[in-house]
Amino acid sequence: MKVLRDASGVHALNAPDLLPLIEQRLHELATSYDMDPWEVVFFIVMEPGDAASALDIHLGRSVIGGIDIGDRIFHPAWELLEEHATCYEMVVVLGDDGAGADIFIPKVDGVDPDLLAMCSKYAMPGQLP
C-alpha cells in the first residue's frame, strides 16, 4: 500500500495508469478550493497482498463493513465509488471540513478479493479512463 501525502509521493509512484487520475483529482481540488489540495486530501494506492483491514487502519473505519449506525442496512464508508478501466476509485470523507482520502484499488490479482468484490458490486461507472 502506498500512502501519498505530497507531490513527491505522486512523482515517485510507478503506476502510469493511475497517474492521470491522480493528477486530474489534484487539478480539480486546486481549482475548487482556495488552498493547497494536499491540505484536504491524501491518496492511497492499494497493491497486491494488501488486505482491506490495512486500509481500515488509515481511515479509522471499516471499508468492507461500512459504517455501523445501529441497523442492519449496509451504510458504505465512502462518499463515492467509481469504476475505471484498470482500477476502482473510492473517496472517503474523514472530517467535517471535507478532508479525506482518495483510494485507488487496482483490478489485479493479489488485491484483497473481498474488497474487489465489494467494489464490483457497488461502483458506478467513472468519468475518466
pLDDT in tens, the chain (129 residues): 999 999 889 888 888 889 999 999 999 888 887 778 888 899 999 999 998 888 888 888 888 876 555 666 667 888 999 999 999 999 999 888 878 999 999 999 999 998 999 899 889 988 754
pTM of the complete model: 0.88
Residue 72 grid cell: 442492519
Cell of 50: 494488501
State how far the Cα of 113 lies from the Cα of 98, in Å rounded to an integer: 29
Domain that holds residue 16: 2-125
Q: Residue 126's pLDDT is what?
A: 82
Q: In this predicted structure, what is the pLDDT of residue 3?
A: 94
The residue among 129, 77, 122 whose CA lies nearest residue 101 is 77
| Distances, alpha carbon 31 to alpha carbons 13, 75, 118, in Å | 23, 30, 32
Give how many domains the chain has, as a whole number.
1
Per-residue pLDDT, 45: 95
Pair 80, 25: CB distance under 8 Å: no
User: Which element (helix H / strand E) includes 102?
Assistant: strand 100-106
Backbone angles phi, psi at 57, to 5 degrees: -65, -40
